[in-house]
Structure 1
Amino acid sequence: MTNAEPNFYLDEELEATEDWDDDFQTGYADEPDPEDLTTGEMDLAERHQLRRVASLRTELEDITEVEYRQLRLERVVLVGVWTDGTVEDAENSMAELALLAETAGSEVLDAIYQRRQSPDPATYVGRGKVEGLAEIVKATGADTVICDGELAPSQLRNLEDRLKVKVVDRTALILDIFAQHAKSKEGQAQVELAQLSYMKQRLRGWGGNLSRQVGGRVAGGAGIGGRGPGETKIETDRRRINTKIAKLRRELKEMKGTRDTKRQERRRNHIPSVSIAGYTNAGKSSLLNRLTDAGVLVEDALFATLDPTTRRTTTADGRVYTMSDTVGFVRHLPHQLVEAFRSTLEEVADSDLVLHVVDGSHPDPEGQIAAVREVFAEIGATDVPELVVINKADQADPMVIARLRQREPHSVVVSAKTGEGIAEALRIVEGELPRPGVEFKALLPYGRGDLINRLHQQGEITSMEHTGDGTIVVGRANPDLAGELEAYAL
């Protein structure tokens, strides 16, 4: 006996699905349309597509297996030397080092610091502290030690010999973060140049690897003319690094020419420029998005954006100016990075106004201000007019904001997240942009609407009156534009 089956008609079933909601069909009702995403949101989604997850392990316990794999975050122990300042300064520095380590993709297990007049010239920390550090490394199972300072090659070698694990310093850690986040061709070349400059003095191999020489009967495949003592491996590696550094410098010089050409074009058209600079993760990209709708990447992480972004915007009265986001600064920013990113940082030195963004919710905002101004002095930007923008007002302590306002009278308090204070910041920026230097009064024919448009973009119009003979315009203009207006001067 068979069960009776209901009649099934394909056309009727297809008609029944016509009214289904598209979101229900796809199963992704909350997923935004890719066409509606900004460039920064797409970059952030791409960065988050692959993340290393803490405590995720894929171990094969069967000893007969050929492979033994373990996927996990790099486990690190932080070490610092406190030479001056207060205990809070030392703790803030170690907390920042922990954030840098987590941004680089590691798991911080422990952190220690030592009070000394100066770092130990042989091992950075004292001999007893090295023995205690070795016990901590062994007990926690750490595979890396990160030091809060730039180590000399001898200090690096001595620590690795005694701890039996990899040792990196603050400079190498920051360079690693930059290598992860650089996207543009120029940014990648700048980071590679900084890494090679740092690495050249710290070449080291296990055992006698770097002391091996090319020579003998085989001569390393060199054949006739290649026999003899030859170069050691460390000499060969150093020569290759120098060759690569020279090549990168030539490439960056060509890229700098392109950047200089764009800058000269803006100067020729008398377009003012505003640079947004400040400590890393102070909210520079968020502020740029709020002021210009740039749509650049925003992430709550150190050095989230490295590649500079320039956007064209206008004032309330129609004048055109540019606003540029720059790479973030940090305490003890490696000199290799400052040198490699000099062409990018010149945007700050050549700008007409610098918006110095400060994180008002940070435990030590004054220290951030001092660190940024040290970099300003290094790149020759101390003479550029500066407006301190105290960001994150929605999270900051009102007492801290009041203290910063008292210390920095020329400042404004904003919140790039909520929009608080943005209108006031724009008003101050527009008021401090350089004004055209030549006053004029002209009767422009109605056929010269192009001059009226240029006056709106590049000059200041005080009054405008339409008459039967043309438009009487009074205002200020740049010398080039004022020269063209002389033919219609009153």
Structure 2
Amino acid sequence: MTNPTLEPTPREERDIADDVVARVLARAGTALDAGGTVHTSADGDQLDLVERSALKRVVGLSTELEDVTEVEYRQLRLEKVVLVGVYSGGSTSDAEVSLRELAALAETAGSQVLDGLLQRRQTPDPSTYLGSGKAAELAGIVAAVGADTVIVDGDLAPSQRRALEDIIKVKVVDRTALILDIFAQHAKSREGKAQVELAQLEYLLPRLRGWGESMSRQAGGQVGGAGAGMGSRGPGETKIELDRRRIRDRMAKLRREIAAMAPARVTKRATRRRNAIPAVAIAGYTNAGKSSLLNALTGAGVLVENALFATLDPTVRRAQTADGRVYTLADTVGFVRSLPHQLVEAFRSTLEEVGDADLLLHVVDASHPDPEGQIAAVREVLSEIPGVENVPEVIVLNKADVADPEVITRIRGRERSTIVVSAHTGEGIDALLELIADSLPRPDVAVEVVVPYTRGDLVNRMHLEGEIDHEEHTADGTLLRGRAAEGLATELKTASLV
């Protein structure tokens, strides 16, 4: 039996580390639900999911090709990875939650997690991130399990990544690169692809790597037959400088393209504003069930997958309250801890849907080991979006059918406005619809007009957007008495005077 007053022996420390790794690889309480993706009738045919699943990395395929024609028919080999985490503050369990999330990210990217390593140190080593001793130990683990990639749960400086690769002898990827890879796989729309490419280039630019003299363009300026003479010869533009210039040019072009796409979305939002159509935005941590909730509320049939960042392109659907008022529901990209700032910048135009909303449904996975941490991470990103501070927020505790009731009670005691639902079973959906109807702005301008029969479009808009207390058909037109938004009220009054 171990004496609690003594320092743990190296063997005991190794046993503790092995236990941590076992818990990480057991995948209990990760950001992915156990048992795979579960769909309901509200999710529809899920044709996008069929398309996404058509090409999957699979285990057991050799990298050697017997016939070159095999290239066209092979599926991609499953990448085998080892995870590495470094933490200074907090408990070991908090570090495990973060590493389990990294495991979920790796699996979403199409990798197979073989092992994990956690290290506690005050600050990451400036040279190798882990320190030379731990890096050598990691190299032994990588060789023993046959991994071809190491994923670090943090951001690596270019020099740290190179130093680690020199020691471990396999590819090293940090958390940001992993998330960017997932976004690149899942982007579908033209704007989404442009946003992801811009974020990737911003990440790549400071990490370009040269290989000595072979990367140099030795003759610069006008030389040779140009007759420029002596003193005009120089080292010229090196290959890495050329690459940087091309990347900057491509980034500038992407920014122009994204800026050119923005007016279409702004015009749509302006049209909804002009027609006084209230907007509800759904935001939250990745894999919290936002798309499932949108399907449960509207039957939109958008893609639902038990994977991180399954939704990248915003989806806007029209819905109606029980009393007939029209509003829109927007599903947005999910957030994650330490979301790369390149992605926040690139997706800023998309996230503006949240800042322009009348109500924010902040969806939280109540079954997650650290729901409060998810709430804090989402709010940190939302704070960078203009106008969000003025949008009323409701915490929607999703997955109530598998959540711990004590956790739900704890969160409801801390948050001002909450509701408990399960998009899978339908629990609480009717109550959420009532809450949305009560929270949406109501028409506030009283109207009593006779609308000519030639303006039936205005009567229809009054039914959709306003509140009618009395409607009567007279000889001169349709008598309407009720309330409407300011813009519609002005149009009604103008039409009644004609």
TM interval, shorter chain, is 0.7 to 0.9
Correspondence list, 1:2-401, <5 A: 41-57=46-62, 72-205=77-210, 207-208=211-212, 211-215=215-219, 228-380=234-386, 381-401=388-408
Return closer, same or farther for 1:296/1:311 CA change in 2, 3 Å cut-off. Answer: same
1:64 match: none
Conserved? CA contact 1:191–1:337, under 8 Å: yes
Which of 437, 461, 481 is matched with 1:430 structurally?
437
Conserved? CA contact 2:149–2:171, under 8 Å: yes
CA distance in 2, matches of 1:332, 1:472: 57
TM-superposed deviation, 1:483: 2.3
Correspondence list, 1:404-483, <5 A: 404-442=411-449, 449-461=456-468, 463-464=469-470, 466=472, 473-483=480-490
Conserved? CA contact 2:262–2:349, under 8 Å: yes
Give the alignment's TM-score, normalised by structure 2.
0.83
Conserved? CA contact 1:59–1:70, under 8 Å: no
2:25 match: none
Secondary structure, in 3 states, of the residue corresponding to 1:476? strand
Task: Give the partner amino acid of 1:402.
Answer: T
Gaps of 5+ in 2: 1-40, 67-73
CA distance in 2, matches of 1:456, 1:83: 60
Give the alignment's TM-score, normalised by structure 1.
0.84
CA distance in 1, matches of 2:171, 2:86: 19
CA deviation vs aligned residue, 1:296-349 (integer Å, no higher than 9, x gap): 111100011111111112222221111111001000000000000110011111
Conserved? CA contact 1:57–1:70, under 8 Å: no
Q: How many residues align?
A: 444
Conserved? CA contact 2:274–2:487, under 8 Å: no
Conserved? CA contact 1:210–1:234, under 8 Å: no
Percentage of matched positions with identical amino acids: 65
TM-superposed deviation, 1:486: 3.9
Task: Give the partner amino acid of 2:343.
Answer: L
Task: Give the partner amino acid of 1:88.
Answer: S
Return closer, same or farther for 1:476/1:86 CA change in 2, 3 Å cut-off. Answer: farther
Conserved? CA contact 1:390–1:412, under 8 Å: yes
Task: Give the partner amino acid of 2:286.
Answer: T
**Greater Rg over alpha carbons, structure:** 1
Return closer, same or farther for 1:424/1:110 CA change in 2, 3 Å cut-off. Answer: same
CA distance in 1, matches of 2:117, 2:434: 47
Task: Give the partner amino acid of 2:376.
Answer: A
TM-superposed deviation, 1:96: 0.2
CA distance in 2, matches of 1:282, 1:210: 49
Task: Give the partner amino acid of 1:174.
Answer: I
1:11 match: none
> Which structure has more RCO (C-alpha within 8 Å, separation ≥ 6)?
2
Secondary structure, in 3 states, of the residue corresponding to 1:405? helix
Task: Give the partner amino acid of 1:323.
Answer: L
